[in-house]
A and B are shown apart, each in its own frame.
Chain A
Amino acid sequence: GAVVSQHPSRVICKSGTSVKIECRSLDFQATTMFWYRQFPKQSLMLMATSNEGSKATYEQGVEKDKFLINHASLTLSTLTVTSAHPEDSSFYICSARVAGEGTQYFGPGTRLLVL
């Protein structure tokens, strides 16, 4: 149980385009999902907290207009990187919290490369 998927697993795009990443909880309902960014050889940096049916809460320094988050249902959250630039290239990981529990289960990550 507690499986989280992400799609796509890797994406290459041109500078200036937008990329959407999906995060799904496959066998449980997730009232809260989290989006992280990880640079090579570094720890995870929390970007935003996504709550079903409400606006996402962004961490300090994260541009909400650049990283659009939509949590349309209890099993799906999407992160859209708008007008992507090479510096947005990174490993993006989502996690989902089981309703009523504190534990977060992580997706396999999405490798984004912006050319």
Chain B
Amino acid sequence: GEDVEQSLFLSVREGDSSVINCTYTDSSSTYLYWYKQEPGAGLQLLTYIFSNMDMKQDQRLTVLLNKKDKHLSLRIADTQTGDSAIYFCAESIRDDYKLSFGAGTTVTVRA
């Protein structure tokens, strides 16, 4: 999606924290999502944040939203090999609930 941008690759050492960044252009976004896709599989909803929130934490996952800069990030604490996947950022901006996806960030966890 041209309205949502992500870096394409991230390599992280096992046990370290991963931070995946995303920028979006539409200030009227209502919800912002993080999805995980493993090879050959569909998308797994990891977490989401409502646009009037700054932060949301769920176990190892922390989402930060800077609405002023239209910047969203996902932090994965204590990254494990099972976290290797493609992570998609997505925004929902209209009442029709359509999602606009970023290109996806491929996270590789190395031992």
- What residues on B are CB-neighbors of A68 within 8 Å? none
Return B31 CB to nearest CB of chain A, in Å: 5
Please tell me if the beta carbons of B41 and A109 are within 8 angstroms of each other in the complex: yes
Please tell me if the beta carbons of B43 and A102 are within 8 angstroms of each other in the complex: no
- What residues on B are CB-neighbors of A97 within 8 Å? 97
Candidates A43, A46, A106; contact of B44 at CB < 8 Å: A106
**Count of chain B residues with Cβ under 8 Å from any Cβ of A?**
22
| Majority DSSP secondary structure for residues of A touching B | strand
* CB nearest to A104 among chain B residues: B99
A50 at the interface (CB under 8 A from B): no
Please tell me if the beta carbons of B97 and A111 are within 8 angstroms of each other in the complex: no
- What residues on A are CB-neighbors of B42 within 8 Å? 4, 6, 93, 106-109
A78 at the interface (CB under 8 A from B): no
- What residues on B are CB-neighbors of A103 within 8 Å? 31, 33, 45, 48
Return A34 CB to nearest CB of chain B, in Å: 7
A11 at the interface (CB under 8 A from B): no
Return A65 CB to nearest CB of chain B, in Å: 22
**Count of chain A residues with Cβ under 8 Å from any Cβ of B?**
21
Q: Which of B10-18, B63-71, B73-81, B100-108 contacts A (4 or more CB under 8 A)?
A: B100-108
- A108 and B41 contact, Cβ closer than 8 Å, known pairs A34-B98, A103-B31: yes
B96 at the interface (CB under 8 A from A): yes
Chain A residues numbered 3-20 whose CB sits less than 8 Å from any CB in chain B: 4, 6
A25 at the interface (CB under 8 A from B): no
- What residues on B are CB-neighbors of A60 within 8 Å? none
Can you list 19 residue pairs at the A/B interface with Cβ under 8 Å? A6-B42, A32-B97, A34-B99, A43-B102, A43-B103, A43-B104, A44-B101, A93-B43, A95-B43, A95-B99, A97-B97, A102-B92, A103-B45, A104-B97, A106-B35, A106-B44, A106-B45, A109-B42, A111-B40
Binding site for B on A (CB under 8 A): 4, 6, 32, 34, 42-44, 46, 49, 93, 95, 97, 102-109, 111
